[in-house]
Structure 1
Amino acid sequence: MQIKKRFFAALLAAFITTAINAATPSIPKLTDSHNTRLQQGLEKALAKMGLDTPARQGKLAVALVDITDARQPRFASINGREMMYAASLPKIAILLGAFARIESGDMQLDAETRQTLVKMIRFSSNTAATEMLNRVGKEFLVNLLQSPRYALYDSKHDGGLWVGKEYGKSPAFKRDPLRNLSHGANVFQVARFYYMLETGQLVSPAYSKEMKAILGQPAIRHKFVKGLSSVRPGALLYRKSGSWRQWHADSAIVEHDGHRYIAVALAHDQQGSKWLEKIIVAMDDLVIKSLPRRITFFDKAMQARANPLMQ
């Protein structure tokens, strides 16, 4: 009798799991989500700002992903696969590495660890980043970024996110194989990072939610934050930027008025920070004007995956 009960309980659990999986739409890939209309709009916006020339010269790269309808992301980019020095932006890779360690039980998400992660992301503390990089493990992080699970760096093709040096005066321990960069990125892989985060694919849905919270409430108010503050003062940004000499970078999930999108930009110019202030406003306009606000079943399903309490 007990054997029958256990059998039917297992059968019921399997049926429920199958039903839930069938009801939750599969998550599209950004490589399959290129949108011609958004691409044309992005190219025209850069030309209108006089930034098409820097883009042609390889001094500017941008990516935009409208995820207002997460089931149908609309992706556009310029120089999307071109790696550039990204300063502090690749600290998001260290954030991922920390939560991978937390998932495996090698690190605890206690108050001290969380505070170190907040300092690294919101305040861009180099000291906190170096401490966390060493706790995660340098080789562990390099391998994680290249792992099939995440594939955020591809040494055989276009590279991606890379951390090969502490954030300090010490020499690089492993520069990226393609461009010899210590801290590098291309906008496509950064956009993938944020899309995977938003859809609960980084480590786990619950830990994706934790990482997104840490990326929120940015303390450094320049570039994307400054650009949006005047036109969308109520916008929420989950963001990581970077600056070093003439290199400028910013990346964010932006949410306001029922819209949600991913914006990434890398610039190599003394005026790069000013460029990014203007670019984010133009990208925001593209998203707002091209599609009405839409909340879908897929959005709710993804939110439930990221927050078990909603299930």
Structure 2
Amino acid sequence: MKALLYFCLFFSGTVVAQNTKVPSYYQVNKALCKKIQDLVTELALDREFPVGEDGMEQISLAVIRIPQKGRPQIAGFRYENFIYPASVYKMYVAAEVLRQVYEGKYSLTSPYIVRSPNDVDKNKEIPFDPRPLLQDGDTVTINYLLDLMITRSDNSAANCLIDLVQRKPINALMHRYHWEGSEVTRKFLNRKFEDAEYQTIRGTETSALHAADFMYLLETRQLVNPWVSMQMKALLARQLDKSKLASGFPKEVLFSHKTGWFSTWTHDVGIVEDGQTTYILSCFLPLPEEEARPKLKALAKRIHAFMKG
């Protein structure tokens, strides 16, 4: 049975199981798959892209239609492909933080003291955000760290929260929903500053399928429980980075999402809703940000037209 659910890759001498199977509660929409494939081809995204020393990489794109009745429908292009997610995987960290808050391990208002080497940011990811960079010795709240990590994609905040909740519980949550292969393996700092057991571990990866499924469970209030799901969506709705997929939607659209960008990687994943239509769009592009932005804008505009149609 497992042969149908997983395939294995080798990273640094270890075997990693990756779940590429579409969950049974989805119906694959073949007509929408064809439209998306044609769009991807038109935008010259249907090929392999160089990503430096990591070799060549392909895109990973998923769309989930959420109807008022019936099964949700999934479509996309290579959505099972695992790819470096940059800051998108901070949403996985946030979900575990909220789960532990719900369980009473601490509260959103609990204080946290920032310690080096977690204070890695030297520049703000969102320049216009007025909040100062975190520094060694700063005392802030868990809620403040969560908001910085999601809305500004703050790396220092992410490092602090990964230390707070620990990677094993984060990954236990990932396995609860069968997102094998998308485990959080690294903090956002140089390997030499990692805990000993994580200094040689493989880099973090995810797929558009897993990221989209995360958003679907969140939107339908099944991610841990309704409280965690609604708190998570509130964070995502305050996202400050509107330069990627968000730039292609009409002004009436609310896009609750998490972006990620680094070097040759530019991504965006979220819930799209305008009062009449609700769907998930999960897009990972192995392209530098300046090249990816017009592609993401075009994808958002055209896919939104498909979903409205």
Q: Which bracket does the TM-score occupy, shorter chain normalised?
A: 0.7 to 0.9
Aligned to 2:298: 278
TM-fit CA distance, 1:274:
2.9
Whole-angstrom distance in 2 between the partners of 1:238 and 1:196: 14
Q: 2:287 aligned with 1:255, yes or no?
A: no
Instruction: Give yes or no for contact 2:99–2:228 (8 Å, CA) kept in 1.
Output: no
Deviations 1:191-222 (A, max 9, x none): 11001111111121122111100111211121
Whole-angstrom distance in 1 between the partners of 2:104 and 2:83: 34
Deviations 1:122-180 (A, max 9, x none): 1100011111111111222223222xx3222x2xxxx2x332111123456667x9xx7
Aligned to 2:114: none
TM-score by length of 1: 0.73
Aligned to 2:37: 43
Aligned to 1:25: none
TM-fit CA distance, 1:269:
2.2
Aligned to 1:240: 258
The amino acid across from 1:66 in the alignment is R
Whole-angstrom distance in 2 between the partners of 1:30 and 1:254: 23
Instruction: Give yes or no for contact 1:58–1:79 (8 Å, CA) kept in 2.
Output: no
Instruction: Give yes or no for contact 1:99–1:203 (8 Å, CA) kept in 2.
Output: no
Q: Aligned runs of 1:72-221 on 2, under 5 Å?
A: 72-110=71-109, 112-146=141-175, 149-152=176-179, 154=180, 159=181, 161-171=182-192, 181-221=202-242
Whole-angstrom distance in 2 between the partners of 1:129 and 1:71: 37
SS at match of 1:90: helix
Aligned to 1:308: none
Instruction: Give yes or no for contact 1:99–1:207 (8 Å, CA) kept in 2.
Output: yes
TM-fit CA distance, 1:257:
4.1
- Aligned Cα root-mean-square deviation (Å): 2.3
TM-score by length of 2: 0.74
Q: What is the count of residue pairs matched by the alignment?
A: 247
Whole-angstrom distance in 2 between the partners of 1:58 and 1:182: 15
TM-fit CA distance, 1:47:
2.0
Instruction: Give yes or no for contact 1:61–1:187 (8 Å, CA) kept in 2.
Output: yes
TM-fit CA distance, 1:263:
0.3
SS at match of 1:189: helix
Unmatched 5+ residue regions in structure 2? 1-21, 50-55, 111-140
Deviations 1:218-274 (A, max 9, x none): 11121112222xxx0121011001011011111010111411110011111232333
Whole-angstrom distance in 1 between the partners of 2:84 and 2:284: 8
Instruction: Give yes or no for contact 2:259–2:268 (8 Å, CA) kept in 1.
Output: yes
TM-fit CA distance, 1:181:
4.5
Deviations 1:37-91 (A, max 9, x none): 1111111221222322349x74211000111436421110211111101100000
Whole-angstrom distance in 1 between the partners of 2:77 and 2:154: 30
SS at match of 1:183: coil
TM-fit CA distance, 1:114:
1.8
Whole-angstrom distance in 1 between the partners of 2:105 and 2:168: 15
Whole-angstrom distance in 2 between the partners of 1:94 and 1:188: 18
Instruction: Give yes or no for contact 1:250–1:265 (8 Å, CA) kept in 2.
Output: yes
Whole-angstrom distance in 1 between the partners of 2:183 and 2:301: 28
SS at match of 1:62: strand
Cα distance change on mapping 1:163 and 1:40 into 2, 3 Å: same
SS at match of 1:88: helix
Deviations 1:287-311 (A, max 9, x none): 011xxxxxxxxxxxxxxxxxxxxxx
SS at match of 1:80: coil
Unmatched 5+ residue regions in structure 1? 1-27, 290-311
Instruction: Give yes or no for contact 2:26–2:73 (8 Å, CA) kept in 1.
Output: no
The amino acid across from 1:150 in the alignment is Y
